[in-house]
């Protein structure tokens, strides 16, 4: 079970209003915390029906259609699976050409993901690859260009629930279908999420970690700590911090007075890149560490040239360096919390997704904003369309 160590949080927690805030979230009619009860048999049936058929799976998607899947892949699969999962989340022609070069299109399945069905980057990629390949599946909303095209072409389609936004969609078919295709146990993902969802709905402060984390972020935000650093000490979780980056930025970045900037970091790696700033720099950050108790079989560091490494394992060194870092931050009065995760597996990753989705929902209500829209991206989309259609 995931536990929260908040000893160094420098925040004052108060659960008197959990009930009110839960009511406010409920009133927004968002489905992210209900999806854990959804039926996944259509996904599992499809995965079974294509078993052994493909060597490469390519997700065409961007933002909320890609970040969850990238995290699932990094966290839960070994470097060299028998099926390789690619996520094409950019339109750089060199990047697309590189991928094209290595694919056998007979043995490749493309999963095209766009909730609106009109994401120009994703549509462009689809137009490009449909000239090379015949194997497509669409994940999209009930209407839109992708839906129409799929109907016309007779392409297998899965539907994104309407009331779940892209950045909250990792535990819908958006993340679950690619995951199932590379052998991830998606039922366990949902079980873990369900366990955390029950805590999210709890009015008991000690149990409701979502509420606690949101309240800490909100308090520190009010005291000028306008950045949240997420730093897992696990190579497997490096992309979890990327996934959270979108969730926090898009959900809370809403006005000149409301916005926390997410910072992704990785232990121990970024101790050698960001620690100087974190330790000595301005007091403008709140730190969330993720410690993984079981980092796999113990691997001893051989040799005795360095006295303090004698008899130490890499596992222990990871843990000790994490503690050295949080102790030093605490010594320097920089607020930090640590999530203790027993190990990186489906169950715990499902719980982590739900933990931060729930925390973000509370945070939106604390700020009195709608955490589920993204009006700010419309202007650049408008400019882009105008530039594209302007006579040369």
Residue with Cβ nearer its own copies (49 or 389) = 389
- Among 44, 201, 205, 249, contact with its own copies (rule: CB under 8 A): 249
Beta strands 336-341 and 3-5 are antiparallel
| Residue 391 sits in the site that holds its own copies (CB under 8 A) | no
For the record, the structure tokens of 265 come out as 């970091």
| Residue 389 sits in the site that holds its own copies (CB under 8 A) | yes
Question: In whole angstroms, what is the distance from residue 383 CA to residue 385 CA?
Answer: 6
Residues 170-209 vs its own copies: string with x where CB under 8 A?
----------------------------------------
Q: How far is CA 44 from CA 3, 21, 176, 233, 352, in A?
A: 31, 36, 9, 32, 23
Q: How far is CA 205 from CA 64, 114, 192, 209, 266, in A?
A: 30, 37, 20, 7, 29
Q: How far is the CB of 201 from its own copies (least distance, A)?
A: 27
Residue ranges in 1-60 that form contacts with its own copies under rule CB under 8 A: none
Residue ranges in 347-376 that form contacts with its own copies under rule CB under 8 A: 374-376
| Residue 154 sits in the site that holds its own copies (CB under 8 A) | no
| Residue 281 sits in the site that holds its own copies (CB under 8 A) | yes
Piece in contact with its own copies (CB under 8 A), picked from 36-44, 173-181, 199-207, 309-317: 309-317
Nearest to 215 by CA among 369, 78, 351, 15: 15
The side-by-side arrangement of strands in the sheet containing 156-159 is: 84-88, 56-60, 108-114, 136-140, 156-159
| Residue 258 sits in the site that holds its own copies (CB under 8 A) | yes
C-beta separation of 215 from 14 below 8 A: yes
Question: For this structure, is 86 an active site residue?
Answer: no
- Among 49, 94, 154, 391, contact with its own copies (rule: CB under 8 A): 94
Residue ranges in 54-93 that form contacts with its own copies under rule CB under 8 A: 62-64, 67, 78-80, 89-93
Residue ranges in 224-243 that form contacts with its own copies under rule CB under 8 A: 226-227, 233-236
Q: How far is the CB of 246 from its own copies (least distance, A)?
A: 4
| Residue 256 sits in the site that holds its own copies (CB under 8 A) | yes
Residue with Cβ nearer its own copies (208 or 348) = 348
Question: For this structure, is 250 an active site residue?
Answer: yes
Catalytic residue chosen out of the listed positions 199, 218, 220, 250: 250
Which helix (H) or strand (E) segment is 262 a member of?
strand 261-264
- Among 275, 336, 345, 348, contact with its own copies (rule: CB under 8 A): 275
Question: In whole angstroms, what is the distance from residue 53 CA to residue 82 CA?
Answer: 11
Catalytic residue chosen out of the listed positions 272, 305, 333, 378: 272
Q: How far is CA 105 from CA 56, 135, 149, 166, 170, in A?
A: 9, 8, 21, 28, 26
Cα of 274 vs its chain's centroid, Å: 22
Question: For this structure, is 381 an active site residue?
Answer: yes
| Residue 332 sits in the site that holds its own copies (CB under 8 A) | yes
Q: How far is CA 94 from CA 24, 84, 86, 101, 112, in A?
A: 46, 20, 15, 11, 20
User: Which residues are identified as catalytic?
Assistant: 250, 272, 381
């Amino acid at each position: 079970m995931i536990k929260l160590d908040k000893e160094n949080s420098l925040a004052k927690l108060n659960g008197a209003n959990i009930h009110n805030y839960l009511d406010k979230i409920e009133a927004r009619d968002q489905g992210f915390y209900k999806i854990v009860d959804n039926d996944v048999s259509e996904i599992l049936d499809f995965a079974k029906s294509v078993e052994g058929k493909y060597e490469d799976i390519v997700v065409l998607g961007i933002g909320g259609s890609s970040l969850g899947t990238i995290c699932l892949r990094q966290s839960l699969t070994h470097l060299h699976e028998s099926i390789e999962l690619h996520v094409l989340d950019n339109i750089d022609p060199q990047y697309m050409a590189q991928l094209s070069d290595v694919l056998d299109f007979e043995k490749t399945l493309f999963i095209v993901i766009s909730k609106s069905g009109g994401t120009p980057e994703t549509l462009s990629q689809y137009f490009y690859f449909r000239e090379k390949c015949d194997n497509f599946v669409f994940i999209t909303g009930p209407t839109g260009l992708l839906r129409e095209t799929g109907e016309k072409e007779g392409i297998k389609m899965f539907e994104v629930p309407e009331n779940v936004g892209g950045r909250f969609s990792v535990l819908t078919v958006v993340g679950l279908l690619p995951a199932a295709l590379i052998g991830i146990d998606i039922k366990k993902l949902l079980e873990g999420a369900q366990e955390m969802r029950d805590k999210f709905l709890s009015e008991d402060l000690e149990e409701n970690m979502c509420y606690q984390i949101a309240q800490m972020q909100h308090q520190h935000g009010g005291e000028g700590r306008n950045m949240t650093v997420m730093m897992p000490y696990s190579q497997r979780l490096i992309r979890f911090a990327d996934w959270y980056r979108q969730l926090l930025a898009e959900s809370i970045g809403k006005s000149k007075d409301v916005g926390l900037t997410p910072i992704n970091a990785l232990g121990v790696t970024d101790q050698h890149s960001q620690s100087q700033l974190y330790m000595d720099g301005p007091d403008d950050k709140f730190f969330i560490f993720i410690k993984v108790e079981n980092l796999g079989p113990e691997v001893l560091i051989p040799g005795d040239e360095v006295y303090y490494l004698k008899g130490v394992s890499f596992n222990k060194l990871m843990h000790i360096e994490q503690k050295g870092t949080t102790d030093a931050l605490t010594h320097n009065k920089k607020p930090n919390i640590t999530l203790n995760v027993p190990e990186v597996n489906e169950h715990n990753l499902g719980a982590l997704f739900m933990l931060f989705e729930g925390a973000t929902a509370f945070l939106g209500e604390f700020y009195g904003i709608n955490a589920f829209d993204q009006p700010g991206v419309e202007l650049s989309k408008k400019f882009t369309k105008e530039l594209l259609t302007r006579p040369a």
